Structure 1
Amino acid sequence: MINDKQIKNSKTGEQVKRWRLILGQYADEHLNANDNLGLYDKQIDQALDYLYQHEYRSRGLLTEDKNDSESRRGGNQSSAYNTVNWLRQSRKLFPKSTFERMQNQAIERYQLEGILNDPNAVKELQPNFNSVRLLMSLRGKLSNSVQNEVKALIRKVVDEILKKIQMNFINAMTGKKNRFRRSLIKNNQNFDWRATIKANLKNFDQNKQQIIIEKAIFNSRANRQLPWDIILCVDQSGSMDSSIFYSAVCASIITQLPAVRLHLFVFDTQVVDLTHLASDPVEILMTVQLGGGTNIGYALNYAEQKIINPSRTVMVVVSDFYEGVNLTNLYNTVTRLNANRVKMLGLAALDYSATPVYDLQVSQELANRGMEIAALTPEHFATWLAEVMK
């Protein structure tokens, strides 16, 4: 607990000014520091006050009397401050990591009305995973006028992730290199170094003792011809937001693969079939309902009905495996699917950082009954899926 004596015993000048910014306008009469704040400091103070006045109000420390608040400010505010201005100003005033933390608190903790109802405020949000996660959790409170801007923000983040993983994901899934066919796609995984050296031997530089590569040769990749069914079952309980995000991205990539049919289900205690949206990760993220209980066994029973050729089916379960009902049905279903030669993969996390948070006891029992369990990034997941489908 900070008291007046501790503050007075601290060095004057810069330290007093820091205490003033930490404690806010209510410390004015004790610190007498407000007059020493420069323009830059006053802008920081204004940004902090705009956000944390919501904390004061929730604790009954701030009245709703707008005139009283303005009189305390003494005319320091040159214009009306709103959420859009606050976002723009704060982005300039604070380091990126600090701003993102403040932005997250604005949405998640204080649910600033401007962000939830003003399309321009959504445009000002930092397009990152945290923004997507927070907006998804508050989707039911968003006004209709901001829906398009929310979709646009999610699209930016999704497209950025797709740029990073799409090519490697597709290469891992579409088979080995075909040395008898050349490719115009210049990808390091397709690079044929033997053929490249052979084709450029005539360009050997005697002085440098090097081969000058004028033409690099790349192989195409052999497409799989026999069809596979991939059934992707994604847990949409509240703790699975990051996994849902990457599952949606991966699903959109899988729909582009040849000779692969994808079924996409999200579940809590019920199952929702999103197969018709699988090619559009943004629509998936706008549709899922985070929260609720967990009934993995019920989801697998539902998915089992979609199996046509068990030996050509891969069932992928993305979950933390904290089953919310009796485990008997889940264990029996996994045992039955394994006996029918269905390949089962359990992803404890589909997060790009691959942080594993899952029920070890349940996942171990599922592994004993034939489900392979792992915590992988999307690219490693693609490699794993390709190995299973060989």
Structure 2
Amino acid sequence: MDEAERRRRWRLLVGDGGEGAGTTVSLSAEDRRIDAALGAVYDSRGPGEGDRPRAAGLGASAPRVVGWLGDIRSYFPSPVVQVLQRDAVERLQLHQLLLEPELLDAVEPDVTLVATLLSMSRLLPERSRSTARAVVARVVEQIERRIADRTRSAVQGALNRSARTRRPRRQTDIDWPRTIAANLRHWLPERRTVVPERLVGYGRRQNQVQRSVVVAIDQSASMAESVVYAAIFGAVMASLRALRTSLVVFDTTVVDLTDALHDPVELLFGTQLGGGTDINAAVAYCQDLITTPADSVFVLISDLYEGGIAGELVRRVNAMTVAGVQVVVLLALSDAGAPSFDREHAAALEAIGVPAFACTPDAFPDLLACAIERGDIAAWAHRYRAAES
């Protein structure tokens, strides 16, 4: 990159009059349009950043915003467009404009936009509802393509590995690596072979329900992205015959959305983001759903800010683990990492052997597989944290 190009990029980055921008950089007509598109968001101070007058801005007009969206989509790749949209909504307080169908048609859909729409779903005018559902459906489809195959593969592999038998009926049912490992003491040096005195094979129970998975999702505003991902994972898990999947959402009340798992878009619009939180009541409801503790996985997705009886919450979780339920507590299921969370409750759960941590959607299939195999969740969380750091 030559010096002129370096100075051009730096000028577009910091804006006119920004520190180090200089006054000798000449912008082309297209560069000036790019500069104006960036300046509409970043040449102004966002909420709480001071009283400096706004140098640009998108105004309170949906057509003007639609024009701006068209500009940034022609100048930047999709991931950058999503960041610009997110910053525009937050810095310029454009939430109300998301109620306009013209704007929804123009935006680049992503998880953050879906979370925003869901938080405003009760305010959507009738003329915007179908457009909003179309936007949500596009994001759901994108995420399903990203996670579905890997989730199904991880779950099926975990079920196959956990369904072992010492009397495999067919040669194709024999798990040769495990069989060899179990019979190494029967190694015959003169024949250079292992005599398999005990066979280890795969069980054949694919058409039966092998595990129950209950997912409870906190609907507080900070968990919006987690709600989106958890709902889609729930729909994918519900498509597997070997799993019996239940999904509930909660604030101060508990709503069972299991019947909507076949349609994740409808499920998402059945949530209501914001409000108080009673985690203990949600865990109590989920306890009643679990009939075979030794074959059950309970996933609680919450920032652990409890408005109910905190001590009772820890006692219930402990009772579930003692009964044999594999409990997983996620502070977030999102790409953004853990939000603010109640560290005291997280430490109390850690003390009873239930670690609380944030997990990305890409890592969740492996975590689910570990839980299904009744693996050591604490060890998995430790390895995951180390890899992330």
The two structures have a TM-score, normalised by structure 1, of 0.66
Tell me the amino acid that sits aligned with residue 234 of structure 1.
Answer: I
Q: Secondary structure at the match of 1:264?
A: strand
Asked if the contact 1:238/1:291 (under 8 Å) is kept, the reply is: yes
Q: CA deviation at 1:43?
A: 3.0
2:369 to 383, 386, 389: 383
Following TM superposition, by how much is the alpha carbon of 1:230 offset from its aligned partner in structure 2, in angstroms?
Answer: 1.9
Match 2:325 to one of 328, 336, 342: 342
- Specify every segment of 5 or more residues in structure 2 that has no aligned partner in the other structure, as ranges: 1-6, 178-201, 376-389
Tell me, yes or no, if structure 1 residue 286 matches structure 2 residue 269.
yes
- Further displaced range: 151-160 or 344-353: 344-353
Corresponding residue for residue 185 of structure 1: none
Alpha-carbon displacement from aligned partner over 1:30-65 (angstroms, at most 9, x marks no partner): xx99xx875335534654576579979996968xxx
Q: Which of 244, 265, 271 does residue 227 from structure 2 map onto? A: 244
1:321 aligns with 2:304: yes
Aligned mates of 2:340, 2:369 — CA distance in 1 = 21
CA-to-aligned-CA distance 1:52-98 (integer Å, 9 cap, x gap) = 79979996968xxxxxx9xxxxxxxxxx9622222112222356555
d(CA) in 2 for partners of 1:135, 1:343 = 34
Tell me the residue number matched to 1:84: 66
RMSD of Structure 2 on Structure 1 (CA): 4.4
Larger radius of gyration: 1
Aligned pair count?
323
Alignment of 1:227-376 (within 5 A): 227-352=210-335, 355=338, 358-369=341-352, 371=354, 373-376=356-359
CA distance in 2, matches of 1:52, 1:226: 54
Q: 1:113 to 1:272 in 2, by over 3 A?
A: closer
Q: Offset of 1:251 from its aligned partner?
A: 0.3
Contact 1:133-1:241 at 8 Å conserved across structures: yes
Q: Is the counterpart of residue 157 in structure 1 residue 143 in structure 2?
A: no
Report deviation, 1:300.
0.9
Question: Is the CA contact 2:211–2:372 (under 8 Å) kept in the aligned structure 1?
Answer: no
Which residue of the other structure, out of 14, 21, 29, is the alignment partner of 1:39?
A: 29
CA contact 1:344–1:372 (8 Å) conserved in 2:
no
What displacement does 1:238 show? 1.6
Q: CA deviation at 1:224?
A: 6.3
AA in 2 matched with 1:176: N
Q: Which amino acid aligns with 1:93?
A: Y
**What secondary structure is seen at the aligned counterpart in 2 of 1:364?**
helix
Instruction: Tell me the TM-score normalised to structure 2 length.
Output: 0.67
Letter in 2 for 1:132: V
Cα deviation for residue 252 of structure 1 reads 0.4
> Which SS does the other structure have where 2:240 is aligned?
coil
Q: Secondary structure in 1 aligned to 2:273? A: coil
How much has 1:119 moved relative to structure 2?
Answer: 2.2
Quick check: 1:135–1:150 contact (8 Å CA) kept in 2?
yes
Cα distance, 1:52–1:310 mapped onto 2, change above 3 Å: closer
Aligned residue identity for 2:148: Q
Counterpart of 2:89 in structure 1 is 107
2:222–2:339 contact (8 Å) kept in structure 1: no
Matches within 5 A, 1:45-84: 47=37, 82-84=64-66
Pair 1:171 & 2:161 matched: no
Q: Is the 8 A contact 1:234 1:265 kept in 2?
A: yes
User: Conserved in 2, the CA contact under 8 Å of 1:232 and 1:315?
Assistant: yes
C-alpha distance in 2 between matches for 1:23 and 1:97: 27
